[in-house]
Amino acid sequence: MIDLSTTYLGLKLAHPLICSSSPLSADVGAIRRLEDGGAAAVVLHSLFEEQIEAESLDLDRYLEAGAESYAEASSYFPELTAPDPGPDDYLNLVRKAKESVSIPIIASLNGTTPGGWVRYSRYLESAGADAIELNVYTVPTDPQSSSQQIEDDLCSLVQEVASSITIPLAVKLGSFYTGPAHLAHRLHNVGATALVLFNRFYQPDFDIDNLSVVPHIKLSHSEELLLRLHWIAILYGRIGLDLAVTGGVHTARDLLKCLMAGATTVMMTSAAIKHGPTHFSTLIAGVRQWMEEHEYDSASMIRGVLSLRNIADPSLFERLNYLKLIRSHGGTRFSTIATP
């Protein structure tokens, strides 16, 4: 029997394929379907920083209005011995999911500043979350913000959250940081347990007829996987973090590539939206078949075999590969371009 088990964030998983944060995990019924479909774990949809801030402001206005109306208004104050009023539905989802399924439940916080994250990370832990994924999605638009400051702020945020909980913390990053390898090392030092690569960069489109900027989103495709494979392969075995791929996983071969790059786990959503929850089982069956045909007994046997530290020519992941590609095409495709 082929052993596909893995350990991610200290959690023992039957296999490496899990459901990434998305609307697929927005209710308990959907989470049950993901478990039945073969997902080894589920990352819940994200609780956003803006939600916490908005509900905190509502509470502040309520308290201030009551206090200015009557001297005895303190009797109207809600009990705050339980978690502060806020996204209670999300906390309830964590509790109910833990009661309803046997696979690990990973909560997701989406924010860029400490704010209420320290408080809510504790609430999520109390609600029963097995781990927390800090989903960092930010677009630096301020010309005065240096790359150093952006990374320093991120590390401070991760350190504050990690130090406030006892369950493991994963950090989900975008792909535009100046030095991803160095940043990964820093994140490990401030308390992160895992790194999730990469958050998809959602770009608005232009409506030129109505002169407006409109949201634009589409499902991922396998070609997006290449960037993830590149950085997972570079980081594997060089930092003390679990490594997860997210974005572009649609087939069993995609999953195998992730493992060979060095991924601890592989996350999938778009393909499950397209094909249904049973696509998790379909991919795992495909991986088992390939491994049987190639006489591999476990996922650990192929993990990292195509990583930077294990391949014969490490330059394939570095600048020298760029030079090789240019030279290899110089005498064919580029030679057909005529100079006027």
| Within-domain flag for 318 | no
Looking at the 3D structure of the chain, how many domains does it have?
1
Beta-strand relationship, 205-207 and 194-197? unpaired
Give tens-digit pLDDT for 15-73: 999 999 998 998 999 999 999 999 999 999 988 766 665 554 443 443 344 334 333 33
Q: Encoding tokens for residue 30?
A: 């959907």
Spell out the SS3 assignment of 141-198: CCCCCCHHHHHHHHHHHHHHHHHHCCCCEEEEECCCCCCHHHHHHHHHHCCCCEEEEC
CA distances from residue 315 to 177, 230, 319 in whole angstroms, order as listed = 21, 12, 7
Range 283-316 burial, b when 16+ CB lie within 10 A, else e: bbebbbebbeeeebeebeebbbebbbeeeeeeee
Reading the chain (340 residues) residue by residue, the pLDDT tens digits are 899 999 999 999 999 999 999 989 989 999 999 999 999 999 999 887 666 655 544 434 433 443 343 333 333 223 333 333 347 899 999 999 999 999 999 999 987 667 777 888 999 999 999 999 999 877 777 888 899 999 999 999 999 999 999 999 999 999 989 899 999 999 999 999 999 999 877 678 888 889 888 876 778 888 899 999 999 999 999 999 999 999 999 999 999 999 999 999 999 999 999 999 999 999 999 999 999 999 999 999 999 999 999 988 877 777 655 555 556 655 444 444 444 4
Query: Counting beta carbons within 10 angstroms of the beta carbon of residue 16, is it exposed (0 to 12), middle (13 to 18) or buried (19 or more)?
Result: buried
Q: Which residues pair with 121 in a beta bridge?
A: none
| Within-domain flag for 316 | no
Q: Encoding tokens for residue 118?
A: 């320290």
| Within-domain flag for 324 | no
| Distance in angstroms (rounded) separating the CA atoms of residues 257 and 85 | 44
CB 88 within 8 Å of CB 126: no
| Distance in angstroms (rounded) separating the CA atoms of residues 115 and 99 | 29
- With a CB cutoff of 8 Å and minimum separation 6, the contacts of 123 are 83, 91
What residue type is assigned to position 10 of the chain?
G
| Within-domain flag for 189 | yes
H or E element at residue 7: strand 6-8
Q: Encoding tokens for residue 173?
A: 């990053």
| Within-domain flag for 322 | no
| Within-domain flag for 101 | yes
| Within-domain flag for 138 | yes
Provide the whole-model pTM: 0.83
CATH code, domain carrying 305 = 3.20.20.70
| Within-domain flag for 147 | yes
Q: Which of 11, 18, 31, 85 is nearest to 54 (CA)?
A: 85
State the residue range of the domain holding 96: 6-311
Phi-psi region of 68 (alpha: psi -120 to 50; beta: other; left: phi over 0): alpha
